[in-house]
Amino acid sequence: MGRYFAIRIGRAALTIVLVVTFAFVVLRLSGDPALMILGPEAPPEVLAAFRKAWGLDDPIWAQYFDYFGAIAKGELGRSMRDGRPAIELVLERIPATLALTLPAFFFKVALGIPAGIYAALHRGSGIDRAVMMTAVAGFTVPSFVLALVLVLVFAVQLGWLPSGGQDSWRHAILPIATLSLGGAAVLARFTRSAMLEVLGQPYIRTASAKGVPWRKVVTSHALPNAAIPTVTILGFMVGTLIAGAVVVESVFAWPGVGRLLVVAVANRDLAVVQCILLLVAITMVTSNLIVDFLYGFLDPRLRSKGAHA
């Protein structure tokens, strides 16, 4: 068992290193932070001093090793804009993001999974077609379009809800709705196809042939098997709890991690960007690890083989 975990944890660590490296390279290559932060009119001596202070003069590999050395010591750098520790800036935004993404996650699951199961069990019916059309619409429409439509209807036309900001719980309704609808659509489609796949398996016919009532065939034979692929997509959704709301936070002017990221990228505030990316990579990788272990729990076949996958 140890070997199985070790391989997966090692792979997870490697993923994080690669993500951080990628971010480091792309950001350093795409513009001079000193110019971006101080502006083009800044005197050359000021620019030089800024670069020296932040180590931007060093060769890129030296900056890279310094950066990793610091991470290893738990130092994630300071914001180049206001000098505060990047981690502090990021952490204080997390509750705001979770206030959107956690309820949205709940609604996605509560809407998407039952809708998918229902559609699969009533394949070809009017309800199945309605669910699937909604689902297709739900994930083909980009979230910013959906967000704008919701704003137009509920904020501008009807005037029921605010169009942006974070002053009351009513401000959270539209962002949460935007996030939930898209995710529920993806989940519904995924659950439906997983269910259909399982319902077509010979063991479902075996269960019916031995006289198991249909309701029990679905609950005790089909669902446990359909859960296996569905867990993958759920894991992915858990992984996006921190950074999955970038677009929605921007549209609704919601001061979460996503909006911080957009601002930090625009300003080349390297430490903040890297800190967020590191956090995102860690949550993604952790949720993938959890999914791997859940697989082992749900599927006895993986417990005894598949170690070399």
List of residues 6+ apart from 189 with CB closer than 8 A: 116, 132, 135, 136, 139
Q: Minimum distance from CB of 228 to other proteins (Å)?
A: 8
Is residue 58 within 8 A of residue 11, CB to CB? The reply is no
Is residue 191 within 8 A of residue 116, CB to CB? The reply is yes
Is residue 155 within 8 A of residue 204, CB to CB? The reply is no
Q: Which is nearer to other proteins, 141 or 196 (CB)?
A: 196
Q: Contacts with other proteins in 144-173 (CB under 8 A)?
A: none
Q: What are phi and psi of 78, to 5 degrees?
A: -115, 150
- The count of residues in the chain is 309
Q: Which is nearer to other proteins, 52 or 205 (CB)?
A: 205
Q: Name which position in 14, 224, 266, 293 contacts other proteins (CB under 8 A).
A: 224
H or E element at residue 28: helix 2-29
5-15 as b/e, with b when 16 or more CB fall inside 10 Å?
eeeeeeebeee
Any idea what the Cα angle at residue 90 is, between residues 89 and 94, rounded to 5°? 125
CA distance 190 to 202: 21
Residue 308, interface with other proteins (CB under 8 A)? yes
Q: Minimum distance from CB of 226 to other proteins (Å)?
A: 10
Stretch that binds other proteins, among 160-168, 189-197, 217-225, 245-253 (CB under 8 A): 217-225
Q: Name which position in 21, 30, 140, 201 contacts other proteins (CB under 8 A).
A: 201
Q: Which is nearer to other proteins, 226 or 251 (CB)?
A: 226
Residue 303, interface with other proteins (CB under 8 A)? yes
Residue 192, interface with other proteins (CB under 8 A)? no
Binding mask 282-301 for other proteins (x = CB under 8 A): ----------------xxxx
Q: Which is nearer to other proteins, 115 or 198 (CB)?
A: 198
Stretch that binds other proteins, among 16-24, 62-70, 197-205, 276-284 (CB under 8 A): 197-205
DSSP code at position 173: H
Q: Which is nearer to other proteins, 21 or 201 (CB)?
A: 201
Q: Name which position in 207, 242, 257, 275 contacts other proteins (CB under 8 A).
A: 207
Q: What are phi and psi of 142, to 5 degrees?
A: -60, 150
Instruction: Give the count of residues interacting with other proteins (CB under 8 A).
Output: 32
CA distances from 226 to 199, 208, 305 (A): 9, 17, 20
Q: How many CB atoms lie within 10 A of CB 214?
A: 12
Q: Contacts with other proteins in 226-245 (CB under 8 A)?
A: 228
CA distance 187 to 193: 10
Q: Name which position in 212, 253, 263, 282 contacts other proteins (CB under 8 A).
A: 212
Q: Which is nearer to other proteins, 4 or 64 (CB)?
A: 4
Residues near other proteins (CB under 8 A): 1, 3-4, 124, 201-203, 205-214, 220-221, 224-225, 228, 298-301, 303-308
